[in-house]
């Protein structure tokens, strides 16, 4: 195992830390680990709303105190990696010149609006505070753990704290300055930690696949307000995969380790009140449908070859969003049907099976297991 400081790595790669910290960033706008302090007029941060949260239960292997104690600086100070606050987009017919068809993008569809966020831009900023489908959201990416996730943010915005836990991005919300580790989607500092962010699905795919599936999409441009070399990834590359993304070395150690898969094997992870599960993405590509029990509840992972992604479903409450009756996954028969999924004789697109769909995201195995050592693995 090799462990080096991210600042040292970037320096070795010829990337000045000032360029990472952001020429227009505001290092002094940093986040602390505690609640916001009293202001000059005597008011407190408790009167300021943080991001919207939801009632849910997720598996947890560590207390908030242990997670905070495990945090370490990634090198840049708070906001030293500047979030994009005023994102600019182009039509799919006029994408950024440096964006190749095979380059990874993070795709989002909310309330009928489709947007694509190139990995080559997010690797320099990690967070985009945006509005999609009329909803204020943050699209987030951690290059060290290979995780792209979406969160509702309400009236506040998220920033990059500069701290890492389990090698994973720790966000802070600017209303309360409290910490939210990205993969956990959970607040770990401030009074009564344990609130959960409201999440939405972000699809890791390629620009060619996303554009084909969503020709009406717009795509984030390099007009970010920051001077960055968006043609150069400081960690390596995905098209083809090389550098940090291809090797087994860590920059920061995970919370715990497991050797059933190579550390950076891509898994599709899902966590819910029923437990945590990871499906090796290559296995899902090969088998296309994987059914399993989690917490005594029947689940199914299905492959979407159009986007090279996966979805995980569980039995619902018997009613779909449109009011029609859903199928019973406990007794349903699923089979592959030339790119679609046959459910008891009715054909459905992989993203539209008549069951309850869970939030999932791609992750490097070491990071998923580090946070969720109780996970069931399908390899």
- The reported pLDDT for the residue numbered 128 is 98
Average pLDDT over residues 157-182: 98
- How many CB atoms lie under 10 A from the CB of residue 271? 27
pLDDT band of residue 316 (cuts 50, 70, 90) is: confident
- The reported pLDDT for the residue numbered 325 is 56
Strand 203-206 versus strand 199-200 pairing type = unpaired
Whether pLDDT at 36 is above 90: no
CA–CA gap between residue 97 and residue 262 (Å, rounded)? 34
- The reported pLDDT for the residue numbered 40 is 35
Whether pLDDT at 35 is above 80: no
Whether pLDDT at 2 is above 90: no
CA–CA gap between residue 207 and residue 192 (Å, rounded)? 41
Helix ranges (DSSP H) in the chain: 6-12, 17-21, 64-69, 119-122, 207-213, 281-287, 365-371
Higher pLDDT, 340 or 42: 340
- The reported pLDDT for the residue numbered 145 is 98
Average pLDDT over residues 1-10: 49
- Percentage of the chain beyond pLDDT 90 is 83
Average pLDDT over residues 15-22: 37
DSSP 202: -
**At which residue do the structure tokens 């060619």 appear?**
208
Closest among 276, 115, 285, 304 to 185, alpha carbons compared: 276
- The reported pLDDT for the residue numbered 320 is 53
- The reported pLDDT for the residue numbered 9 is 55
CA–CA gap between residue 326 and residue 341 (Å, rounded)? 15
pLDDT band of residue 315 (cuts 50, 70, 90) is: confident
- Angle, CA 210 vertex, CA 204 and CA 214 arms, to 5°: 135
Pair of tokens at residue 250: 């860590």
- Tell me the per-residue pLDDT of 223-258, one tens digit each, with 9 for 90 and over: 999 999 999 999 999 999 999 999 999 999 999 999
Whether pLDDT at 15 is above 60: no
- Tell me the per-residue pLDDT of 135-167, one tens digit each, with 9 for 90 and over: 999 999 999 999 999 999 999 999 999 999 999
- The reported pLDDT for the residue numbered 248 is 96
- The reported pLDDT for the residue numbered 25 is 34
């Amino acid at each position: 195992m090799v462990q080096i400081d991210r600042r040292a790595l970037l320096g070795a790669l010829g990337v000045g830390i000032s360029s990472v910290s952001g020429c227009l960033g505001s290092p002094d706008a940093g986040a602390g680990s505690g609640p916001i302090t009293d202001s000059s007029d005597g008011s407190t941060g408790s009167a300021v709303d943080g991001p919207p949260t939801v009632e849910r239960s997720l598996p947890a292997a560590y207390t908030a105190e242990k997670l905070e104690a495990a945090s370490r600086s990634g090198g840049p100070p708070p906001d030293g990696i500047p979030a994009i606050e005023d994102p600019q987009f182009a039509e799919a017919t006029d994408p950024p010149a440096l964006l190749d068809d095979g380059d990874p993008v993070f795709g989002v569809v909310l309330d009928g609006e489709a947007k694509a966020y190139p990995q080559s831009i997010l690797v320099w900023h990690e967070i985009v505070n945006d509005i999609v489908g009329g909803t204020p959201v943050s699209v987030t990416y951690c290059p060290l753990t290979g995780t792209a996730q979406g969160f509702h943010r309400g009236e506040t915005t998220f920033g990059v704290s500069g701290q890492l836990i389990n090698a994973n991005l720790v966000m802070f919300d600017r209303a309360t300055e409290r910490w939210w580790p990205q993969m956990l989607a959970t607040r770990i500092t401030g009074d009564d930690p344990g609130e959960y962010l409201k999440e939405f699905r972000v699809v890791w795919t390629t620009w060619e696949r996303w554009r084909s599936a969503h020709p009406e999409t717009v795509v984030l441009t390099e007009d970010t307000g920051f001077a960055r070399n968006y043609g150069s990834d400081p960690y390596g590359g995905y098209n083809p995969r090389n550098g940090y993304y291809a090797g087994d070395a860590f920059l920061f150690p995970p919370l715990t380790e497991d050797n059933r898969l190579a550390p950076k094997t891509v898994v599709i992870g899902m966590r819910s009140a029923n437990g945590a599960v990871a499906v090796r993405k290559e296995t899902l590509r090969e088998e296309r449908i994987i059914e399993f029990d989690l917490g005594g509840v029947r689940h199914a992972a299905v492959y979407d070859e159009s986007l090279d992604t996966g979805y995980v479903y569980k039995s619902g409450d018997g009613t779909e969003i449109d009011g029609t009756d859903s199928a019973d996954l406990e007794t349903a028969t699923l089979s592959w049907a030339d790119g679609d999924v046959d459910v008891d004789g009715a054909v459905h697109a992989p993203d539209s099976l008549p069951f309850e769909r869970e939030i999932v995201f791609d992750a490097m195995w070491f990071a998923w297991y580090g946070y969720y050592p109780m996970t069931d693995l399908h390899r």
